[in-house]
Amino acid sequence: MQQENKIFPGRISVIQRKLADLKIHGLIFLNIINIRYLSGFTGSDGVLIICPDRSFLLVDGRYTTQAALEVQNIPVIEYKDKVEGIIQAIKDLGLKHIGFEAVSMSVDMYNQLTQRLDDEVLINIGDDLKFLRAYKDETEITLMKKAAAISSAAIAALIRDIKPGCTERELALQLELHARRAGADQLAFEAIVAAGENSALPHAQPTDRKIKAGDFIVIDFGVKYKGYCSDETCTFAFGQLTDQQKNAYQIVKQAHDDAIAAIRTNVTASTVDHCARSVLGEKYGQYFPHGTGHGVGLEVHEAPRLAPNSQDVLEAQMVVTVEPGLYIPGLWGIRIEDTVLVKENSCEIFTKMDKQLLIIN
Ligand code: ZN
Ligand code: ZN
């Protein structure tokens, strides 16, 4: 708790120091994940207002007690109506140029606010906050390593449950049980357990399809631990594979390994994506329809973005995934994903599963 008392004021002061450069008198946060990051409040709704010398957390009656328990150093104000609460705060504080994140405000709320404001102006500064949570501090890194250890342990435990005739749906349930027993607070996203032709769908949902010989089984899994996400994908083989399947697995593994080897501070995200994509080459490149990776933190998908057209640059303390895939429609798919911490000359892999081809019999 002692440590947390310093973390949140430290994060808020980073924002406060930016206000003058952004030419705004205050900043309204509506994104509940950013509010959690800056204040420690874990509720599902609220407003954080940051001014150069003070901050306020606005919540509705459901969260007044919780916010007072979770948030130190920031006064908590209860509102009956969210728009009213924001207008009242803007007027009381005398804010004129007010920053906000357009991506987190509905058109309806924007219209309501602007109709009620007089000479005050709302200014979208979303682009300037893009990397707000991208650099992880030591506390965050510790929590993310723990989240990764829990989800890897759950995948490892699941291997023993994979039997002929069991369904994707049953395996997804077992996976969640293993993870919750290992200490997961919740899933970071709905688990993907996709076998055979279903593994060719990058975002498949578990079905009643039964596991059978010759299947690839793609398991994309992540948990939340104290708010922080993990993200890992293993592709297992069930029974004997064809030579083409075995060869394709090795190609995706090489793409994964080459991309991981390219990660270091100051490398462009598009370069890392290219390292993976070029291994797939002309033959298989057309079957890799998504980016090579993404940032992970309080959200499972956050900045930066590792993709061909990304302008992002990787820097130390960022945590990103590397997840090349290969999906042959109607037949099978392969994805191999690790979550890594960017370091000065390399990266540290958080996720624990070995990515050599595992054949389960
Ligand atoms: Zn994933
Ligand atoms: Zn991912």
The rounded distance, in Å, linking the Cα atoms of 76 and 67 is 7
d(CA 138, CA 101): 27
Q: How many CB atoms lie within 10 A of CB 105?
A: 17
Ligand nearest to C-alpha 293? 2
Residue 13 has pLDDT above 60, yes or no: yes
Residues whose CB is less than 8 angstroms from the CB of residue 69 and which lie 6 or more positions away in sequence, other chains included: none
Cα(221) to ligand 2 centroid in Å equals 9
CA of 54 to the centre of ligand 1 (A): 39
Within 10 angstroms of residue 125's Cβ, the number of other Cβ atoms is 18
What's the gap in Å between 220 CA and the centre of ligand 1? 5
Domain 138-360, CATH among 3.60.9.10, 3.90.320.10, 3.90.230.10, 3.40.50.720: 3.90.230.10
CA 40 / ligand 1 centre spacing (Å): 26
32-39 vs 2-18: helix axis angle to the nearest 10?
Answer: 120
d(CA 33, CA 240): 45
Q: Note the pLDDT tens digit of each residue in 163-204.
A: 999 999 999 999 999 999 999 999 999 999 999 999 999 999
Does 4 score more than 70 pLDDT? no
Question: Residue 340's beta-bridge partner residues?
Answer: 320, 349
Helix (H, G, I), strand (E, B) or coil at 105: coil
Question: Is residue 3's pLDDT more than 60?
Answer: no
**Residue range 27-35: mean pLDDT, rounded:** 97
DSSP 8-state code for residue 44: S
Quote the mean pLDDT of the chain.
96
CA of 227 to the centre of ligand 1 (A): 17
- Enter the tokens of residue 226: 């104290």
How far does the centroid of ligand 1 lie from the alpha carbon of residue 325, in Å?
11
- The structural architecture, per CATH, of the domain 7-129 is 3-Layer(aba) Sandwich (3.40)
For the CA of 222, the nearest ligand: 1
> Does the pLDDT value for residue 5 go beyond 80?
no
Mean pLDDT of 250-258: 98
Q: Which of 3-7, 110-114, 227-231 has the lowest mean pLDDT?
A: 3-7
CA of 66 to the centre of ligand 1 (A): 32
Provide the edge-to-edge strand list for the sheet that holds 47-50: 76-78, 55-59, 47-50, 26-29, 97-100, 121-124
H helices then E strands: how many in the chain? Answer: 9, 20
> Residue 29 Cα, ligand 1 centroid: separation in angstroms?
28
Distance CA 312, CA 27 (A): 24
φ/ψ bin of 39: left (φ > 0), alpha (ψ from -120 to 50), beta (otherwise): alpha
Measured distance CA(348)–CA(337) in Å, rounded: 14
How remote is the CA of residue 57 from the centroid of ligand 1, in Å?
Answer: 33
Digit-coded pLDDT (tens) for 117-137? 999 999 999 999 999 999 999
Burial class (CB in 10 A: 0-12, 13-18, 19+), 201: middle
Helix (H) or strand (E) holding 234: strand 232-238
pLDDT in tens, 305-353: 999 999 999 999 999 999 999 999 999 999 999 999 999 999 999 999 9
Residues 133, 249: Cα–Cα separation, whole Å: 34
CA 231 – ligand 1 centroid, Å: 5
Alpha helix (H) ranges present in 94-202?
107-116, 138-158, 168-181
| Bridge partners, residue 26, by sequence | 98
CA of 212 to the centre of ligand 1 (A): 23
What would the mean pLDDT of 12-28 be, rounded to a whole number?
96
Distance 158 CA to ligand 1 centre (A): 17
Residue-range domain boundaries for the chain: 7-129, 138-360
Measured distance between the N- and C-terminal CA atoms of the chain, rounded to whole angstroms: 48
Q: What is the pLDDT of residues 62-87, one digit of tens each?
A: 999 999 999 998 999 999 999 999 99
* Other CB atoms within 10 Å distance of the CB of residue 214: 14
pLDDT above 70: percentage of residues in the chain: 99
How confident is residue 2, by pLDDT bands cut at 50, 70 and 90? very low
**pTM recorded for the entire structure:** 0.95
Side chain identity, residue 162: I
Share of the chain above pLDDT 90, in %: 97
Mean pLDDT of the 217-242 span: 97
**Token pair for 162:** 């994979």
Any bridge partners for residue 8, and if so which? none
Angstrom distances, CA of residue 172 to CA of 158, 183, 187, 205, 305: 9, 17, 11, 10, 27
For residue 6, the model assigns a pLDDT of 85
User: Ligand 1 center to residue 337 CA distance, Å?
Assistant: 6
